[in-house]
Structure 1
């Protein structure tokens, strides 16, 4: 029904591909950025910084993303968008632009 994760780039992408809402608990590095992006997309609750993590906060956020259908709709929409995107073609075009190939 939902996924809890640290919001690293790869984990965030995997959660979005799964099409289920997330509760993020960022710890370091780029994780706060990706946690904020998931929340901005509506596919996750507001991040819970690791230092602020409690069982009550986690339970509250999990309950919210499971009970409020807007999170599931946003996550499913992101999954559909990602499935339709041809990321490799965008990378190839960028490489060709940069190299003049």
Structure 2
């Protein structure tokens, strides 16, 4: 088969996939995504569960929002976060299942 017969991914697709794996390479972001796959959470609640500062959690949530992996909505004065990409949660679940078996 000639090189010209192969199909390559677009540079944009490669970059997007790389960013998703970058997001999943951080232990804190894995914990946040896993928690948000179970239930919607406020920054305060996530900070309590993770035993981290609110600003540290907010920083990670901003990164995840930028990649459109989480979304937020306002509830009173609190921002409530939830997962925004079921495909990434599926990847995360498969990785967790792989590691636990």
Structure 1 length-normalised TM: 0.34
Q: Which has the larger radius of gyration?
A: 2
Structure 2 length-normalised TM: 0.34
* Between structures 1 and 2, the one with greater strand share: 2
